[in-house]
A and B are shown apart, each in its own frame.
Chain A
Amino acid sequence: MDAFILQILNGLDKGSAYALIALGLTLIFGTLGVVNFAHGALFMIGAFCAVTLQKILTLGFVPADSASAATVGGFSFGSAKETTYVEYWFGEAVGSAIVDWSVPLAILFAIPVMMLIGIIMERGLIKHFYKRPHADQILVTFGLAIVLQEVVKYFFGANPIPTPAPEAFTGSLDFGVLMGFDPYTIVYPYWRLVYFVFAMGIIAAVFGFLQFTTFGMVVRAGMADRETVGLLGIDIDKRFTIMFAIAACVAGLAGVMYAPINSPNYHMGMDFLVLSFVVVVVGGMGSLPGAVLAGFLLGILESFASMAEVIDVIPGINQIIIYLVAIVILLTRPRGLMGRKGVMED
């Protein structure tokens, strides 16, 4: 029972990341009809927004009176601890608190950055491929993903960069004790709980935006019938550009908050990309609720499949579970869990 609860919890945070990326993918596919293979790269860039802000905040100088840390022969490496500029400007307590909270602060930093990147991507490249076949779109966006990846690698290196969560959220919650189990049976890190709550918030915001605003209504109308909306005199292209920016932003924020879970590196986007596509297909192409549902479903199943007891029974199941589920669902429900008729079927 406790192992069961534990893996459901585990699946929730993994599912949150899948759901957020798949949500953005589906938004872009549903509005613009573009299969965006660069979406994983947007997730990665989001994580690097957190890294960048952390680097900016920890910029510092060496106090003049400090001694060098290590000397080998005639050469000395590094110096004693640096004083960061924020500590120097705001005092030590406030300064170190700002550094400590760099990941949540990075959300504010990432929103304009991701919006801008989204608009540049859409206006600069992707709009030229609206009328081209999906294969062309996949090639060009995949190429773009590789370019973005290499740019990040050039500036940040190939090694993962630790981006810790604020001190208040390190450590873990003993869930088991709350539920009457022995201590240490169900332990769950605080930050992953934060991630789950954050993901739910973003998902609710996106749905609310589409459901309850005039802008959202126009976009939904455009998704259903782009031509008619255009004939009514509405500049749907402009709105779709904004939707692309919003989708980029969702992926970026998913990345920012993911940075403390696993140290970001330049290829983390690719690691999520393929899985996210499977999530979109399982959920049903173009269906936003489907993407979210499939994200959590596959996250939880993946967690169960990596339990030692399960692997003992079916060796290797942890590596194929997601694809296995995808095959079964596509065989039984060819349009995915919540796919609508007519999407990608022409």
Chain B
Amino acid sequence: MTSSKFTRRGLLKTGAASGIALATPTIFTGAAWAAAHTGFTNAPQGDTVTLGFNVPQSGPYADEGADELRAYELAVEHLNGEGDGGMLNTFSSKTLDGTGINGKRVEYVTGDTQTKSDAARASARSMIEKDGAIMITGGSSSGVAVAVQALCQEAGVIFMAGLTHSNDTTGVDRKANGFRHFFNSYMSGAALAPILIDQYGADRKAYHLTADYNWGYTTEEAMRQSTEAMGWETVNSVKTPLTQTDFSSYIAPVLNSGADVLVLNHYGGNMVNSLTNAVQFGLREAEANGKQFEIVVPLYSELMAQGAGENIAGILGSQNWDWKLENQLGERYVGTNAFVESFGNKYGRPPSQAAHTCYVQTLLYADAVNRAGSFNPCAVVEALEGFEFDGMGNGPTLYRAADHQCFKDVIVVRGKENPENEFDLVEIVEATPVDQVTYEPNHPQFGGDAASLGDCNPGA
């Protein structure tokens, strides 16, 4: 016989105790507390350092979050000298030697962003305040990235963005404590436009369907500006609610609008459904203005491609990175195979571009701390600003000082007609050289002259 030790009174006591613990006010904001810990928030004590991985573990982007988490776990393993070392072997900076970060063993905590700004801020805050995370990284939405970046700026920790593609993350909402390795809407537009003109001609009329939120707006703006500059005309653009599931009533009028290209500024579930609907409505077979009708998806992801199935066949889009890069385009993209092999051996699948950017961000942070010789956020900011590196799978890359955006080649891809298996969904069309996607830090799409990083905040 077993007897339960739970009693009503015991349960009440535990509940009350945890309630008090949860209600304890924030401690890190106290300047006195921070000063006692060598002048910055969450300075590592003892021989370990804690990183906070803030990824969607529930909600519609949970699968992408799971892949990000796999990459983070792999990065921690490599930093601590376990496994085959992955990109540590190819990274141009050689400070990472498997002894952790600055000699401290790496530990991590995770949070669930739920792909909601408020939930993401709450989980980031909890990791900073309760778990002592010195750096927050991850996410798969620009709304979340902008919100968490602002929180990290206030709290005085570094934010290494995960998958976020809106111009605003390193544009109007840029922050001194925040860094983005992933590419952005402008770069997608700049990389795609020449290829679209080349493949579909300069005399085209485009119809935009745009997700009604921050990322949708900047992507539409970027796509319109770069395609219109090359001769395309935009006949209409319609905002679709983020919660929309059936896009038929938005898709149906497209064929009748005089347009001959449909640009789907949608991501995730929106993109899967709008593209599926567009194909159902016969847009792939239709002719308009005497030309074959075409569909464009500015931002591709492997998971979306899986969700949309055979509907992606032949459709052009852009990516930050692809696991086949080094095999197909050669040594310039060194690091890709090292990472893919390491990831594949551990998890039995190739990494997504979300996983790649998260892995790289973790290594870049660790390396910056090593080079700075300090975990102080302001020292890390200084080490990352203007940092040029290679061997991380994207070719030579610059972390620009003016806006904390990485500049590197952009990959233009096309949905494969006859995929061999579930991992082989897109084919690489071209790697657009970094020069073609570079812009001025005060570009109007990025907040113009008014946008500023502000000062770095160490939290003390």
Q: Which residues of A does B touch, CB under 8 Å?
A: 2-3, 6-7, 9-11, 13-14, 69-70, 72-75, 77-81, 153, 157-162, 164, 170-172, 174, 184-185, 187-189, 191-192, 261-263, 265, 267-268, 271, 302-304, 306-308, 311, 318-319
Contacts and interface: CB of A to CB of B under 8 A. Distances in A.
Interface string B91-125: 00000000000000000000000000000000000
Given A75-B341, A187-B252, A268-B245, A159 B420 contact: no
Contacts of A191: 280
A103 to B, nearest CB: 13
Interface string B250-265: 1011011100000000
Nearest to A304: B249
Contact of A158 (B61, B245, B250): B61
A75 B252 contact: no
Contacts of B281: 172, 187-189
Contact of A77 (B311, B336, B337, B349): B349
Interface string B36-58: 00000000000000000000001
Contacts of A164: 309-310
A159 B303 contact: yes
A159 B280 contact: no
Given A70-B324, A79-B421, A172-B280, A187 B255 contact: yes
Contacts of B63: 157-159
A263 B307 CA distance: 7
Contact of A185 (B255, B269, B272): B255
A10 to B, nearest CB: 5
B248 interface: yes
Nearest to A72: B340
Residue picked from B269, B287, B311, B324, most chain A C-beta under 10 Å? B269
B216 to A, nearest CB: 14
B310 A263 contact: no
B286 interface: yes
B449 interface: no
Contact of B246 (A14, A81, A157, A161): A14
Contact of B350 (A72, A157, A319): A72
A74 B341 contact: yes
Given A69-B420, A72-B341, A78-B420, 5 more contacts: A14-B246, A79-B421, A158-B59, A162-B306, A271-B245
Contacts of B238: 308, 311
A78 B421 contact: yes
B327 interface: yes
Interface residues of B, number: 59
13 contacts: A70-B324, A77-B423, A158-B58, A159-B63, A162-B308, A171-B282, A184-B286, A262-B272, A262-B276, A306-B240, A308-B238, A308-B257, A311-B239
Contacts of A73: 337-338, 340-341
Interface in B272-325: 272-273, 276-277, 280-282, 285-288, 303, 306-311, 323-324
Given A72-B323, A73-B341, A189-B281, A160 B272 contact: yes
Given A3-B253, A159-B306, A192-B280, A271 B243 contact: yes
B344 interface: yes
Given A184-B256, A184-B286, A262-B277, A7 B249 contact: yes
B424 interface: yes
Contacts of B58: 158
B359 to A, nearest CB: 15
Contact of A75 (B280, B303, B311, B345): B345
B246 A261 contact: yes
Interface of B: 58-63, 236, 238-241, 243, 245-246, 248-250, 252-253, 255-257, 269, 272-273, 276-277, 280-282, 285-288, 303, 306-311, 323-324, 326-327, 336-338, 340-341, 344-345, 349-350, 420-424
A10 B287 contact: no
Contacts of A160: 269, 272-273, 307-308
Contact of B423 (A70, A192, A302): A70
A162 B421 contact: no
Nearest 10 A/B pairs, CB to CB = A162-B309, A78-B421, A73-B341, A158-B62, A75-B344, A160-B307, A172-B282, A189-B280, A303-B249, A306-B249
Contacts of B311: 162
A160 B344 CA distance: 23
Contacts of A14: 246, 248-249
A3 B236 CA distance: 16
A318 B307 contact: no
A170 B281 CA distance: 9
A306 B250 contact: yes
A79 B77 CA distance: 28
B250 A263 contact: no
Given A69-B421, A80-B420, A192 B345 contact: no
A192 B247 CA distance: 13
A69 B423 CA distance: 10
A159 B59 CA distance: 10
Given A74-B341, A78-B421, A160-B307, A6 B282 contact: no
A138 B340 CA distance: 48
A78 B252 contact: no
Residue among A75, A161, A170, A171 with max Cβ neighbours from chain B (10 Å): A75
A166 B138 CA distance: 40
Given A158-B62, A161-B307, A191-B280, A184 B288 contact: yes
Contacts of A13: 248
A184 B361 CA distance: 48
A268 B276 CA distance: 15
A73 B334 CA distance: 12
Nearest to A14: B246
Nearest to B245: A271
A279 to B, nearest CB: 15
A172 B277 CA distance: 11
Contact of B256 (A3, A9, A72, A265): A3
Contacts of A70: 324, 327, 420, 423-424
Nearest to A308: B238
Contacts of A3: 253, 256
Contacts of B287: 184
A307 B256 CA distance: 12
B307 A308 contact: no
Contacts of A311: 238-239
A44 B311 CA distance: 22
B62 A302 contact: no
Contacts of B338: 73
A308 B253 contact: yes
Nearest to A302: B249
A14 B311 CA distance: 21
B304 to A, nearest CB: 8
Task: Tell which of B240, B241, B307, B326 has the most Cβ of chain A within 10 Å.
Answer: B307
A263 B60 contact: no
